[in-house]
């Protein structure tokens, strides 16, 4: 359930019998021909679909993340690492103070990984809590589904091209893979010059039946983590 569809009294009632919460983490950044909100759209949707049958509340997605390398692409917004980690920590602190004890952070953006490093510190400061930082798109079973479709995929390519985050026609072609070791050494403007439209490499699209199969793997894997919290 989305907490935005509940009032505080309903959440207080929920806490009488359960203490789990799901928090999606996203980003607002370029994704080639796909929505600038791809990471937040996918993280929130997979979280909601995974949690719904279990009756576990899903909080609004954190829509901004750590993405300094894309700042030369208009519309991309980056939060400083220290700020981002503190914001995620503040969210967890707030909810822990109300009685939530078990959390799944459903992350949709690789740049947000510093928040995962904060998790052990949070649990040490809050005995009795449990937090899992879950990169939904490359978790084992979901990544296995990706590899079964096409092992050549990356940022802005087919593997992020779902019906719910398409905003413009997408090329029916395959792009040569970018050298990630080169990308890591470039400034934002150099990154834009190097990758052009923003796709890191691979086909731009796959049939919807393949994408829906991949999506279901992501939802089921995420649900299994919520269930096991």
- 14/16 Cα distance (integer angstroms): 5
pLDDT for the residue 79: 98
pLDDT single digits (tens) 41-89: 999 999 999 999 999 999 999 999 999 999 999 999 999 999 999 999 9
pLDDT single digits (tens) 187-225: 999 999 999 999 999 999 999 999 999 999 999 999 999
Helix (H, G, I), strand (E, B) or coil at 60: coil
Q: Where are the alpha helices (DSSP H) in 72-205?
A: 81-96, 113-125, 140-149, 180-183, 188-195
- Classify burial at 158, counting beta carbons within 10 Å of its beta carbon; exposed 0-12, middle 13-18, buried 19 or more: buried
How many domains is the chain built from? Answer: 1
Show the domain range for 49. 3-228
- 44/33 Cα distance (integer angstroms): 20
pLDDT single digits (tens) 129-185: 999 999 999 999 999 999 999 999 999 999 999 999 999 999 999 999 999 999 999
Q: What CATH number is attached to the domain comprising 98?
A: 3.40.50.10310
Helix (H, G, I), strand (E, B) or coil at 189: helix
Distances (CA, A) of 168 to 74, 117, 163: 16, 36, 11
Place of tokens 């690789």: 110
pLDDT for the residue 48: 98
Dig out the tokens for 128 from the structure.
Answer: 């009795």
Strand partners, 2: 58
Q: Quick check: 17 and 149 in contact, CB under 8 A?
A: no
Q: Quick check: 168 and 33 in contact, CB under 8 A?
A: yes
């Amino acid at each position: 359930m989305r907490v935005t569809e509940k009032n505080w009294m309903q959440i207080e009632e929920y806490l009488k019998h359960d203490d789990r919460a799901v928090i999606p983490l996203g980003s607002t950044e370029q994704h080639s021909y796909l929505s600038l909100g791809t990471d937040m759209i996918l993280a929130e949707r997979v979280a909601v679909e995974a949690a719904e049958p279990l009756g576990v509340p899903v909080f609004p997605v954190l829509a901004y993340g750590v993405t300094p390398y894309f700042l030369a692409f208009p519309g991309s917004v980056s939060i400083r690492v220290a700020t981002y980690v503190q914001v995620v920590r503040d969210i967890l602190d707030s909810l822990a103070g109300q009685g939530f004890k078990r959390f799944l952070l459903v992350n949709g953006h690789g740049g947000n990984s510093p928040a995962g490093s904060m998790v052990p510190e949070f649990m040490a400061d809050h005995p009795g809590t449990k937090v899992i930082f879950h990169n939904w798109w490359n978790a084992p079973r979901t990544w296995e589904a990706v590899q079964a479709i096409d092992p050549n995929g990356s940022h802005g390519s087919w593997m992020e091209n779902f019906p719910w985050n398409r905003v413009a026609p997408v090329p029916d072609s395959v792009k040569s893979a970018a050298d990630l070791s080169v990308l890591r050494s470039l400034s934002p403007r150099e990154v834009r010059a190097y990758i052009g439209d923003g796709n890191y490499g691979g086909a731009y699209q796959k049939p919807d039946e393949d994408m829906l199969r991949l999506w279901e793997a992501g939802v089921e894997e995420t649900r299994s983590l919520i269930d096991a919290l």
